[in-house]
Structure 1
Amino acid sequence: MDSWKQMMEWKKFADQYLGQNFFTPYGQQDEEQRNQHAEPAEEKGFPAVNIYESDNELLCIAAIPGLEKAEDVDVYVDDRSVHIKGKTNLVGGKYRIAKQEFGSGSFSREIELPYRVRSDAIQATYKKGFLYLRLYRLPADRQKPKKVDIRRFDD
């Protein structure tokens, strides 16, 4: 096998392994990125979310820059997940996008929770680009196990 063919095979392997065009000539990649539109927010995992837990509470913090009003985001909580969807509006005015890591527009994300939570006691606050959700653990069924009486089969 000649060295050119070996290099092309290695390039193909590197591209597959790294998930990108690893050998794009310097400068060409920057130009390509400038000409591309940002990926839809949901493909990037937007909004980014951190979840902190204690024995009885969860604190979910979602980074959502660009919300103009509370009506621009909806939060739905069921016993095992949080679904956040909404719309952001970030504009650079007279500037063109040179690099974009978070988009503007509609987004939707569902986040699984580490344990079941109550849907009747939720606190939500938006401050400085972050959505804070305070959730409370759903108490376990405290009912004691009931002994089941078994009748004889031959009666």
Structure 2
Amino acid sequence: MNKFFPMNNGGGMGGNGNWKKSLPNFLGEDFFSDFQNLIFDNNGPKLNIYENGNELLCIFALPGLKLEEVDIYAYEKTLEVRGTLHVDYNGFRLIQEEITQGQFKRTVELPYPVRDDKVDASYQRGVLIIHLHRLIRSTPVKKKVNIQNLDDE
């Protein structure tokens, strides 16, 4: 007898439903949670990044975002977005929840350093768009370091 797929009296898988209960044992306890991560991102809200020359567009799906409760930080090769999502309707009781609510934080490594003085953000119809510009550093300059002589003092 197979411990993962117990047979019923007739020797087949039968219609008693025991095979459904044994499926997690056969596939492993974490099998289905791996698929859940394909749908719900544990890193935070879903994101697309687009590039055009020296510019990036970071598009976040954030339904129910209140702009007074969101912070955006862009520094070096990092973009960080923190906030709170509110998807509730007064007078209605929540029956099924698939849209994430509450506090979130998403930190993203960007493909190159960005300027922190030239960041634009807009929000419309549940989508947060962050427009970033590549940090272009001038060519390195060789600078002589002066040495202070402490023996002369």
What residue number does 1:85 align with? 82
Q: Distance in 2 between matches of 1:45 and 1:97?
A: 24
Which residue of 49, 52, 55 corresponds with 1:54?
52
Q: State how 1:46-125 maps to structure 2 within 5 Å.
A: 46-68=44-66, 70-125=67-122
CA RMSD of aligned residues (A): 2.7
Deviation beyond 6 Å, 4+ runs, structure 1: none
Larger-Rg structure: 2
Relative contact order (alpha carbons < 8 A, sep ≥ 6): 1 or 2 greater?
A: 1
AA matched with 2:123? Y
Q: From the two aligned structures, give the one with the greater helix fraction.
A: 1
Say if 2:24 and 2:31, in contact at 8 Å, map to a contact too: no
Cα distance in 1 for partners of 2:141, 2:102 equals: 50
Change (3 A) 1:45 1:99: farther
1:116-135 equivalences in 2 (<5 Å)? 116-135=113-132
Q: Which amino acid aligns with 2:44?
A: F
Whole-Å separation in 1 of the counterparts to 2:24 and 2:81: 40
Q: Structure 2 CA distance, aligned partners of 1:141 and 1:18?
A: 51
Contact 2:120/2:131, CA 8 A, preserved across alignment: yes
Given the two structures, how large is their TM-score scaled by the length of structure 1?
Answer: 0.66
Selected match of 1:18 from 31, 38, 41: 31
2:4–2:25: 8 Å Cα contact kept in structure 1? Answer: no
Gaps spanning 5+ residues in structure 1: where?
A: 21-41, 146-155
Rounded Cα–Cα distance in structure 1 between residues aligned with 2:96 and 2:42:
15
Code of the residue aligned with 2:74 in structure 1: it is: V
Identity %: 34
Inter-partner Cα distance in structure 2 for 1:58 and 1:80: 12
Q: Deviations over 1:13-68 (max 9, x none)?
A: 41346234xxxxxxxxxxxxxxxxxxxxx963332111001220000011111123
Output the CA distance in 1 between the equivalents of 2:57 and 2:111. 11
**Which residues of structure 2 form unaligned runs of 5+?**
7-21, 34-39, 143-153
- SS of aligned partner of 1:110: strand
Equivalent residue pairs, number: 122
| Other structure's SS at 2:68 match | helix
Deviations 1:108-155 (A, max 9, x none): 11111111111111111111111111100111442389xxxxxxxxxx
TM-score by length of 2: 0.67
Please give the alpha-carbon distance, in whole angstroms, between the structure 2 residues aligned to 1:55 and 1:103.
Answer: 33
